[in-house]
Amino acid sequence: MIENLKKLKVGKVIADPKMSNYTTYKVGGNAIALVYPNDIKSLIKLLTYLKNNNVKYKILGNGSNLIFSDNKYEGVLIKLSEFDKLDIDDTIVTVGAGYNLIKLSLKVAKLGLAGLEFASGIPGTIGGAVFMNAGAYKSDMGYIVSEVKVLTPNLEIKTMYNKDLDFHYRTSFLQKHPDYICLEAKLVLKHGDANSIMEIISDRKQRRLLTQPLEYPSAGSVFRNPENDFAGRLIEELGYKGKHIGGAYVSEKHANFIINKNNATASDVRNLINEIKDKVKEKYDIELKIEQEFVD
């Protein structure tokens, strides 16, 4: 398989990658291979090979919302890091799926473009952010994405517009149709004052440092907030702050964060998430939705 992937000459191929090196939880077993396609043509060539040979595959962003298992992922992972072109034309930002979201939010802020401040603390890629409809501070990608260039399951390039993308709280058309791959997004921002925007970003960063366990590997909020409530409040009320399974702990700083405090395994993280979900259901009859994706 590795030799065949290298023969395709579609980009860098890493054999037997450890998922702990490519996810923010720093857990997970190995995969068969990780491929960095050079461009869209290379991606199509790679996907054609994988589909023709019935090889399982997954697109990997920053790994900030994925929890692989401790077992081997019997498939190929694809990272779109080379898809990082950026074009800024007045308030219109056209950006590749592999571009870093935090980097972009800081770049446009310094140019005096407002609308992406909410993303300054979200450790993902543009493609992952569109897929998840990443958001914070009462805003999300759905407010600023005007269109997205995607690769369809038939490996055709197509433009989808905001109305087609079905953006809702932490979800989108792409999340419900993972065979569609985000290649590039067009964002519409607004003119603003660079100093004021940077001040907002700075204040929020300070608040995150005080309230979130950023010193440990995690994947941000574990559960979506239920309507008119906060997942963190429910978990804290259960007395789960500091609770742990193996090396995975519920953060003392923020109960909706699980941290890899002491060489946690993927099973430790998953078991703790599932236990919390069950306990909240049992006590409050609330079905918490997990923001992160379990990958086997």
| Alpha carbons 173 and 249: distance in angstroms, whole number | 33
Active-site residue, 291 included: yes
| Residue 171 CB contacts under 8 Å (≥ 6 apart), including other chains | 132, 133
218 is catalytic: no
**Which of 82, 221, 251, 270 is labelled catalytic?**
221
Q: Please tell me the chain's helix, strand, coil percentages from 3-state DSSP, rounded to the nearest 5.
A: 35, 30, 40
Residue 168 CB coordination number (10 Å): 12
Q: Which of 82, 117, 147, 291 is catalytic?
A: 291
* Size of the chain, expressed as the number of residues it contains: 296
Q: What radius of gyration do the chain's Cα atoms show? A: 19
Cβ pair 162, 173 in contact under 8 A: no
CB 124 within 8 A of CB 66: no
- 8 Å CB contact between 131 and 172: yes
The one catalytic residue among 170, 204, 208, 224: 170
Triad 146, 138, 222: Cα angle to 5°: 100
- The question of whether 237 is a catalytic residue gets the answer no
| Bridge partner list, 86 | 95
Residue 211 CA: distances (Å) to CA of 48, 205, 208: 46, 10, 5
Contact between 281 and 288 under an 8 Å Cβ cutoff? The reply is: yes
d(CA 33, CA 53): 15
Tell me the C-alpha distance between 46 and 42, whole Å: 6
Q: Catalytic residue positions?
A: 170, 221, 291
